[in-house]
Amino acid sequence: MQIYKVGGAVRDRLLGKPVTDIDWVVVGATTEEMLAKGFRPVGADFPVFLHPKSGEEYALARTERKSGRGYGGFTFHASPEVTLEEDLIRRDLTINAMAEDDQLNLTDPYHGQRDLEDRILRHVSPAFAEDPLRVLRVARFAARYAELGFKVAPETLDLMRQLSDSGELEALTPERSWKEISRALMENQPQVFIQVLRDCGALKVLMPEVDALFGVPQPEIHHPEIDSGIHTLSVLEQAALHRQPLTVRWACLLHDLGKGLTPQEEWPRHIAHEHKGLKLIKAVNERFKAPKDCQELALLVGQYHTHGHRALELKASTLLELLQSFDVYRRPQRFEEFIVACEMDARGRKGLEQRSYPQADYLRGAADVARGVAVQPLLEKGFKGPELGEALKRERLKALKAYKESASS
């Protein structure tokens, strides 16, 4: 029995990056031998075990063969005869197909270390094209390591293009797709993930609503970058630069989908794109079964982001309606995420990345004013039920009018 550290742990150590998750592969062992040493089995499809003390995953060396469509369409073979090289060849990228023993001796049959040095994301073998999930994984690695100068090898991009054209991407489950998408959006350069998907034709398969934004112009006076797709990538880039949470990044990706529906004869204006985009945002949300908080914020940002930009001009009554829509009294965090999504939208424009956004503090102040209206005096006056709600609304409107006047004076 020989045990090797494999995959990401080896890759990140060689890159000088912190090693978090460690995967181990065991060569020359049987299931019975693992159980006898106290390992606990967890793999349903192939032999994976948890170490009796550390809890880390140890997998028996295995080969795999394509047997159906999608990510799960494989049969696996694990036995003591499977070599380390045979196990490594089934992996996606050369930089993930290296192993090292406890003496840090490197096994690198597919030249992963060379590709690390050359900053290349390259597939290990033609079997790469058997697993559609790898299109998303490679795009995610491109986003993760873009700051180090990594690029996808042209021949790997060709294979990704073949997968995108094959219909295999449609076989991915929403859960597997969302896992990769959400992880990619939380990388330092998530816009690279979207760009790589577009480069290989996967974006028009997975998110045609986002793909449709590229080539659609916007008024240059507001959008020096002009192209709606480029703007979306820039907004996502700003969200990452400002370390926004997943909810905000997802909303930033989807906020302008309605612009893809504007007839060409109306370009570069996009009248009512906020409302038109809601059905598209809902469709993308449902396609990937995004978490509820991501779904809700994406829809709200899509509908109201131009309200955010025009906050200083809004009538007090419109401002109150906006606050009510977000339920700022019970869900203050959601409104804060809306505000920062609007700010990322404002900054995601060529040459305007450092612009100030006074609307943010103005909206925060308005929310504080509305929340500050006390209920108790109204109860003491005898208001209750629907009448109490109306009285509270009147008092909040009065407070917002005063806030607006003081802010403009």
What integer pLDDT is reported at residue 79 of this predicted model?
A: 86
> What's the pLDDT tens digit per position in 205-237?
999 999 999 999 999 999 999 999 999 999 999
What integer pLDDT is reported at residue 45 of this predicted model?
A: 67
Cα distances (Å, whole numbers) of residue 201 to 159, 167, 171, 198: 11, 11, 16, 5
Q: Is the distance from CB of 209 to CB of 260 less than 8 angstroms?
A: yes
Cα distances (Å, whole numbers) of residue 134 to 10, 80, 161, 310: 19, 27, 11, 42
Residue in 247, 326, 255 with CA at minimum distance from that of residue 294: 247
Domain regions of the chain by residue span? 1-111, 119-206, 237-371, 376-408
Residue 43 above 80 pLDDT? no
Average pLDDT of the residues in 278-295 = 98
Residue in 260, 249, 235 with CA at minimum distance from that of residue 297: 249
What one-letter code names the amino acid at 214? Answer: F
What are φ and ψ of residue 188, in 5° steps? Answer: -70, -25
Q: Using CA atoms, how far apart are residues 350 and 226, in angstroms rounded to an integer?
A: 9
Average pLDDT of the residues in 280-285 = 98
Q: CA dihedral in degrees (99, 101, 103, 108; nearest 10)?
A: -30
Average pLDDT of the residues in 181-207 = 98
Q: Using CA atoms, how far apart are residues 364 and 245, in angstroms rounded to an integer?
A: 19
- Looking at the chain, the whole-number percentage of residues with pLDDT higher than 90 is 87
Structure tokens at 10: 């080896």
What is the distance, to the nearest Å, from the Cα of residue 138 to the centroid of all Cα atoms in its chain? 14
> What's the pLDDT tens digit per position in 91-135?
999 999 999 999 999 999 999 999 999 999 999 999 898 899 999
Mean pLDDT of the chain: 94
Q: Using CA atoms, how far apart are residues 304 and 17, in angstroms rounded to an integer?
A: 40
Confidence of residue 77 (pLDDT cuts 50, 70, 90): confident
Q: Lay out the sheet containing 40-41: strands in order across.
A: 40-41, 48-50, 57-60, 23-27, 2-6, 99-100, 106-107
The CATH superfamily assigned to 1-111 is Beta Polymerase, domain 2 (3.30.460.10)
> What's the pLDDT tens digit per position in 312-324?
999 999 999 999 9
Residue 63 above 90 pLDDT? no
Confidence of residue 69 (pLDDT cuts 50, 70, 90): low
Q: Using CA atoms, how far apart are residues 218 and 220, in angstroms rounded to an integer?
A: 6
Confidence of residue 243 (pLDDT cuts 50, 70, 90): very high
Residue 170 above 70 pLDDT? yes
What integer pLDDT is reported at residue 312 of this predicted model?
A: 97
Q: Using CA atoms, how far apart are residues 230 and 214, in angstroms rounded to an integer?
A: 7
Average pLDDT of the residues in 335-358 = 97
What one-letter code names the amino acid at 270? Answer: H
Residue in 340, 346, 270, 338 with CA at minimum distance from that of residue 309: 346
Q: Does domain 119-206 have CATH number 1.10.110.30?
A: yes
Structure tokens at 255: 């906020």
Residue 377 above 60 pLDDT? yes
Max Cα distance, the chain (Å):
84
Q: Is the distance from CB of 159 to CB of 128 less than 8 angstroms?
A: yes
